[in-house]
Structure 1
Amino acid sequence: MRDLTDINTRSWTVATAPGRLPVLGHAVPLRRAPLEFLTSLSQHGDLVRLDLGRHPAYMVCHKDLVSQVLRDPRTFDWGGPFYEKTKLLMGNTLGNCPYRDHRRMRRLVQPSFRLSRIASYSKVMHDELAAEMDTWRPGGTVELNDTLHAVTARVGAKVLMSTDIAGDAVEQILSCLPIVMDGMYRRVVAPWAGLYRLPTPGNRRFEAARTQLRDLVHGIIAEYRRAGVDHGDLMSGLLSAHDEESDTALTDVEVHDMVMNFLAAATETTATALCWALYELDRNRECERRLHAEADRLAGTDDLSTLTYTRQVINETLRLYPPGWMMTRIVSEDTSLAGHPLPAGTILVYSSYALQRDPRMFPDADRFDPDRWLSDRAAEVPPGAMIPFGSGSRKCIGDNFAMMETVLSLTQIAARWSLRLVPGTKVRAEPRALVAMGPLPMVTHPRRATTRQEAA
């Protein structure tokens, strides 16, 4: 038995979550208000038992326990209900593979996400967003959530594969992806498998889109193999990867799964973060003023190191609305955590959303405050309290890509437009695959600074 907690120097609190119902366990509060429910559990203990129907699980609430889980991916392996459903889209890929497969796959994929290669993608990001903003009109209304998801999906597809080879397939992929993403989410939050075997219109649409998406990507992979040319895109990097330690390359199935993983993550993470950032900037006009001043001062830059306030805004956005609101792990062997025995097969849950809104870690935790990421204040944030992309060996491999696209895109928008929420619009956090939101209609107001630049 392996025990990662130092119970000799720390006293942990283990409790059971309130509100348990017979048979249903804690399914009702998890269904009705999952963000609020998970965030409340740290009040009851450091490790809190949940009953998910017949299956017991434990919510890991304390940052040090979360860190210990993430530092030992062999004992606390990738898995659980959420990851099983992601296989519908991603198969067995870097984002959801078990420990036994992860090291080899990480070594193979890592070169495609080096900073030098990622930097070469910035022009695609700029051009796609610029083309979208060129369609905006002063005083017009843009449904920003759908718009930015469409932009980031196009960016992801063009970064991933050359249109010289993929051609019209890119547009077909982009039309199928939202259908599959929505269907996958529905299966995650309402995992009654029998419902999704019924021949309903929604199920048929999901299966048809999933099949078409799979066939399109496999066809593109085959065409790349035949061409044998490095196009400088992500697909070329994946196909040419070779792991010297195992003397293996990625199979076509593994490349397909990585493509699906990347497209889903590249679309959702950046678009959602941008939406939340622009929503919070509308509510916090002084923050918006400072962002605009930086965008005007550094117009046209692609040097992220100079965009200090923009990065603070994004960090604060990711703190309040992190990509993974609930993550699960599976205990692979009998162990203990917080001095509590956990048999193999136990489900562990942790929430970066709950952790990053803990007032013990972040004073005035629910307030949008980019200045908490000034160097002196950021140094006071306890280690392990801020993990929007995870940590340890399984930290998201695309974190630098996501940060670059989000920071550059926010600067690009700020240089040209002020965005105001349509009066009366209700915006609330919706826990889906990410901490998402519903429609975000915003009125577009051109910036005076942009007008002066264009007049010159």
Structure 2
Amino acid sequence: MTEQEGTAQGGTPRADDRAAPSGTAPYPAGYRSHASVYREKRTEQSGDHVFCSGTAAGAAPLIGHLPQLVTDPWTFLTSLPAYGDLVTVRIGPSRLHMVCDPGLLHQVLVDDRTFDKGGPLFDKAREVLGDGLPACPHARHRRLRRLVQPAFHPGRMPGYARLMSEQIAHVMDHWRDDQPVDALAVAHEIATGIATSTMFSTQLDAVTMAETRRCVQIAMAGIYRRLLTPGLLERLPTPANRSYDRARAQLHRTVDRIVDRAGNGRGGYEDLLTILIDAGSAGPDGLTRREMTDQVVSFFVSGITSVASALAWALHLVTEQREIAEGLYAEADAVVGGRVAAYEDLPRLDLTRRFLTETVRLYPPGWIFTRRVSSDTRLAGRLLPAGSVLAYSPYVLHRRPDLFPRPERFDPGRWLPDRATAVPQHAYVPFGAGPRKCIGEAFTLTQATLALASITSRWKLSSAGGHAVRPALRATLVPRRLHLRLHRRH
């Protein structure tokens, strides 16, 4: 098997010098002529770059760009870089400013005081996550990160990985030859098992595990739906609103019950909850009970959704990219050999790692994020008053043809050492950057790598759907109706 190679480009071009896009990214006509595209053009010099701001076309009276964001947000969002590096989008009477350039985004992400966690997405996410580390404002972040950082120390990864491998084996042991499976459900089952085993000293029973997976999926679907819903409609007793409220309450009841009965880590192994309990006893600056619960819910939900997304899309791509998949199977045979992958195998799973890196480029679990401006500031020549809302999308950046040649093409070879250096700086941001970069990045990628290597070591996958696989409208990017069939290899 040989991976297809392409030509990578380096550097982020000046906005006025961009070439017309190639591939399938739906940029509008007029991309070459900024005079015709930037109706409200403003520029700002930053180092060697000139950043431009503009306004997206196609806003409808009263509702703005809401129809595009409801029906097919990914096509709409990937059209925005043609309008500028900072593009104004209307959602009803509100406006948000979409950051479409990696250099400009880096300015935003490293200045988390000015560009604070907030805006519609995180305001809704806090309904589920509370003030956990992923969603808390700048004023609380540094203290909380210091207290929970020990749980993600690299020295703990071998212990976590052992539990990850056990959970992967537990799920696969129930599979049978020629079995059809829902790939997202399988990925959620693996991710939920890993989350419970690494976070809690006690396992959840099978019924609670299944209910928890369901609650997480309902909550993530509800966050995105409520992101686009007027506040008044959120309070109506519709079936969707009642289901969301029940799922959110059930998640917190489950976590509260676990925290209440938490004891010491098993066999000298400290799970994440034990570490947080220790942080709660760290004097007057330690975690309060509410903060502890919020951290557990945040890590639990974020860990499940990010791993499930990456793994489900990777399984889909195994069935779609047959030539590359043959190399994946060969690597699993050589390194894992029919058993379950272990922490010690990770350095030799090179193609598996690059396969996942490219999967997350095309399908980043967190595909859109918002920030709120805390004080008047200028960005890309535009004055942003305090309270303004910014948004950015790894999905958009990862599919820009001037940053990633032939962006719609799945190409793990992009991440070979001699080609990865050509990826423009700050262009690959599936886990964010700056002070708020995801604390669980290594934790997530370790789970996904072990799971993908274990599955391809024992099972060959084929499609069982017969229809195009598209993303579901959720706060996390997941495939809708992804049905696969398992064929035993070992």
What TM-score do the two structures reach when normalised by structure 1?
0.91
2:343 matched residue in structure 1: 302
Q: Match for 1:274 among 311, 325, 333? A: 311
In the alignment, structure 1 residue 429 sits paired with structure 2 residue 471: yes
Over 3 Å counting, the alpha-carbon distance change for 1:396 and 1:8 in structure 2 is closer
Over 3 Å counting, the alpha-carbon distance change for 1:205 and 1:82 in structure 2 is same
TM-superposed CA distance for 1:215, in Å, is: 2.9
2:292 matched residue in structure 1: 255
Q: Distance in 1 between matches of 2:224 and 2:81?
A: 24
In the alignment, structure 1 residue 376 sits paired with structure 2 residue 414: no
Amino acid paired to 2:358:
E
Q: Give 5+ residue unaligned stretches, structure 2.
A: 1-42
Larger mean CA deviation between 384-393 and 215-224 belongs to 215-224
Q: Distance in 2 between matches of 1:187 and 1:406?
A: 24
Q: Match for 2:100 among 52, 57, 61? A: 61
Give the 3-state SS of the residue equivalent to 1:19 in structure 2.
coil
Amino acid paired to 1:179:
C
2:373 matched residue in structure 1: 331
1:104 matched residue in structure 2: 143
Whether contact under 8 Å (2:180, 2:484) holds in the other structure is yes
TM-superposed CA distance for 1:54, in Å, is: 1.2
1:82-113 deviation line (CA, Å, top 9, x unaligned): 11111121111101111111100110111001
Identity of aligned residues (%): 39
Give the 3-state SS of the residue equivalent to 1:336 in structure 2.
strand
Give the 3-state SS of the residue equivalent to 2:390 in structure 1.
strand
Q: Match for 1:196 among 228, 231, 234? A: 234
Over 3 Å counting, the alpha-carbon distance change for 1:302 and 1:185 in structure 2 is same
What are the residue-to-residue correspondences of 1:127-206 with 2, within 5 Å? 127-163=166-202, 168=205, 171-172=207-208, 174-179=210-215, 181-189=217-225, 190-206=228-244
Q: Distance in 2 between matches of 1:204 and 1:350?
A: 30
1:390-418 deviation line (CA, Å, top 9, x unaligned): 01110001101000000011000010011
In the alignment, structure 1 residue 71 sits paired with structure 2 residue 110: yes
1:208-251 deviation line (CA, Å, top 9, x unaligned): 343333233223223337x699751110011112798x951111
Amino acid paired to 2:135:
N
Amino acid paired to 1:57:
L
Q: Match for 1:288 among 325, 331, 335? A: 325
TM-superposed CA distance for 1:368, in Å, is: 0.3
Q: Distance in 2 between matches of 1:353 and 1:43?
A: 15
Larger mean CA deviation between 19-28 and 297-306 belongs to 297-306
Give the 3-state SS of the residue equivalent to 1:443 in structure 2.
strand
Q: Distance in 2 between matches of 1:140 and 1:218?
A: 37
TM-superposed CA distance for 1:322, in Å, is: 0.6
Whether contact under 8 Å (1:94, 1:106) holds in the other structure is yes
Q: Distance in 1 between matches of 2:237 and 2:215?
A: 16
Size of the alignment, in residue pairs? 440
Amino acid paired to 1:191:
T
Q: Distance in 1 between matches of 2:46 and 2:204?
A: 59
TM-superposed CA distance for 1:324, in Å, is: 1.5
In the alignment, structure 1 residue 82 sits paired with structure 2 residue 121: yes
Whether contact under 8 Å (1:180, 1:206) holds in the other structure is no
Q: CA RMSD in A?
A: 2.2
Over 3 Å counting, the alpha-carbon distance change for 1:78 and 1:5 in structure 2 is farther
Q: Give 5+ residue unaligned stretches, structure 1.
A: 451-456
Q: Match for 1:354 among 389, 396, 399? A: 396
Q: Distance in 2 between matches of 1:183 and 1:316?
A: 27
1:453 matched residue in structure 2: none
Over 3 Å counting, the alpha-carbon distance change for 1:374 and 1:328 in structure 2 is same
Q: Distance in 2 between matches of 1:242 and 1:267?
A: 24
Whether contact under 8 Å (2:352, 2:452) holds in the other structure is yes
Q: Distance in 2 between matches of 1:319 and 1:173?
A: 30
Whether contact under 8 Å (1:319, 1:386) holds in the other structure is yes
Give the 3-state SS of the residue equivalent to 1:58 in structure 2.
strand
Q: Distance in 1 between matches of 2:45 and 2:281?
A: 37
Give the 3-state SS of the residue equivalent to 1:13 in structure 2.
strand
1:235 matched residue in structure 2: 273
Q: Match for 1:15 among 54, 58, 79? A: 54
Q: Distance in 1 between matches of 2:131 and 2:298?
A: 10
Q: Match for 1:224 among 262, 268, 291? A: 262
2:362 matched residue in structure 1: 320
Larger mean CA deviation between 409-418 and 40-49 belongs to 40-49
Whether contact under 8 Å (1:77, 1:99) holds in the other structure is yes
Larger mean CA deviation between 337-346 and 128-137 belongs to 128-137
Q: Distance in 1 between matches of 2:459 and 2:428?
A: 30
Give the 3-state SS of the residue equivalent to 2:50 in structure 1.
coil
What TM-score do the two structures reach when normalised by structure 2?
0.85
Larger mean CA deviation between 90-99 and 182-191 belongs to 182-191
Whether contact under 8 Å (1:173, 1:216) holds in the other structure is no
Whether contact under 8 Å (1:218, 1:252) holds in the other structure is no
1:337-367 deviation line (CA, Å, top 9, x unaligned): 1122111111111110000111111111110
Whether contact under 8 Å (2:56, 2:87) holds in the other structure is yes
Q: Distance in 2 between matches of 1:266 and 1:187?
A: 16
In the alignment, structure 1 residue 401 sits paired with structure 2 residue 437: no
Amino acid paired to 2:183:
L
